[in-house]
Amino acid sequence: MQVLKTIEELQEIRKSINGSVGFVPTMGALHNGHISLIKKAREENDIVIVSIFVNPTQFLPTEDLDAYPRKDEADKRICQMCKVDYVFMPEISTMYSQEEVLVKAPNKSYILEGKTRPGHFDGVLRVVLKLFNLVQPTNAYFGKKDAQQLSLITQMVKDFFMPINIIPCEIIREDDGLALSSRNIYLDSTQRHEALLISKSLYMAGSLISKGERDVQKVKDKIYEIMQTLEVEYVAIVNREFDEITVIEPKNTIILVVARFGNTRLLDNIWL
């Protein structure tokens, strides 16, 4: 495994690759969720490239950029174990300069995460566009946990005619159901226990729907009921295009919840 720091190294390596390239862009602090993406990339491609870059442009000024967990050495060991070929770990000044051409998420993305974190997706799309142009992956792997992000990246690739397959990957959970997140380490033991209500509410919603419930409001009521002791930021039920719906469409519905634990926001969702 080779660790690349500069644009020039990465571009040179990329030119020398002939087979398929699987790409897993990350912000580091790798957990089993990331590992599942890397393993899938490893199975499906000749070469696997992982990027580790805590992207400043996707954090709002009030957010946890400086506190975001950095675990470079552990991350490299994990990549090595997963038989990654190249890890790209650039500095901020390698990725960004002053007064750049920008990417702007569509207006319709200013709901849910886009509403709570205005500008966040502009930063996500901007860095992903840069990374895609550098890595030129055949296949790029993203978790379904960041569902709205996944939807927008898929849209960008389509709108910009980028010859890249976006591969959505299942959410990985702890044995007790908590969706894995690099931000879970911020939870104290009480919060960690309370956080189980998030996935529980989604399971119950899924169960209601499998029994035939199609009324979005009734499903939402059930979710809020289960999470009533939590600080719930939103519960949303959307179709695959992220339009809010009033009637559940089986096979085309995503249920998303966000709850706050102090300064920590936890996201979770299920795809029906």
Q: Cα separation of 177 and 160, whole Å?
A: 37
34 marked as part of a ligand binding site: yes
Let me know the angle formed at the C-alpha of 160 by 254 and 92, rounded to the nearest 5 degrees: 85
Can you tell me the distance from the alpha carbon of 101 to that of 57, in angstroms, rounded to the nearest whole number? 13
Residue for token digits 């038989």? 83
187 is in an annotated binding site: no
Structure tokens of 248?
């559940």
Shortest gap between Cβ of 161 and its own copies (angstroms)?
Answer: 5
Q: Is 165 annotated as a binding residue?
A: no
Sort 96 into a burial class: Cβ within 10 Å, 0-12 / 13-18 / 19+. middle
Beta bridge pairs of residue 71: none
Give whichever of 68 and 96 is closer to its own copies, judged by the CB atom: 96
Q: Judged by CB, which is closer to its own copies: 4, or 152?
A: 152
How far is residue 14's CA from residue 143's CA, in Å, rounded to a whole number?
24
Contacts with its own copies, residue ranges (CB under 8 A): 7, 11, 97, 99-108, 125, 129-130, 133-134, 136, 152, 155-156, 159-163
Work out whether strand 165-169 and strand 139-143 pair parallel, antiparallel, or are unpaired.
parallel
> Is 156 one of the annotated binding-site residues?
no
Alpha-carbon gap, residue 197 to 184, rounded angstroms:
14
65 is in an annotated binding site: no
C-beta of 68 vs 110, nearer to its own copies: 110
Q: How far is the CB of 130 from its own copies (least distance, A)?
A: 5
Q: Is 30 annotated as a binding residue?
A: yes
Q: Is 34 a catalytic residue?
A: yes
Q: How far is the CB of 242 from its own copies (least distance, A)?
A: 11
Smallest gap from residue 224 Cβ to its own copies (A): 30
Q: Which of 24, 34, 126, 223 is catalytic?
A: 34
**89 burial type by CB count under 10 A (0-12 exposed, 13-18 middle, 19+ buried):** middle
Q: Is 20 assigned to a binding site?
A: no
3-state secondary structure 66-92: CCCCCCHHHHHHHHHHCCCCEEECCCH
Q: Which of 143, 144, 123, 127 is CA-nearest to residue 135?
A: 127
Strands 47-52 and 86-88: parallel
Shortest distance (Å) from residue 217 CB to its own copies: 26
Question: Whose Cβ is closer to its own copies: residue 103's or residue 180's?
Answer: 103
Nearer to its own copies, 133 or 210 (CB): 133
Residues acting as catalytic residues: 34
Instruction: Provide the annotated binding site.
Output: 27-34, 58, 143-146, 149, 172, 180-183
Instruction: Provide the annotated binding site for ATP.
Output: 27-34, 143-146, 172, 180-183
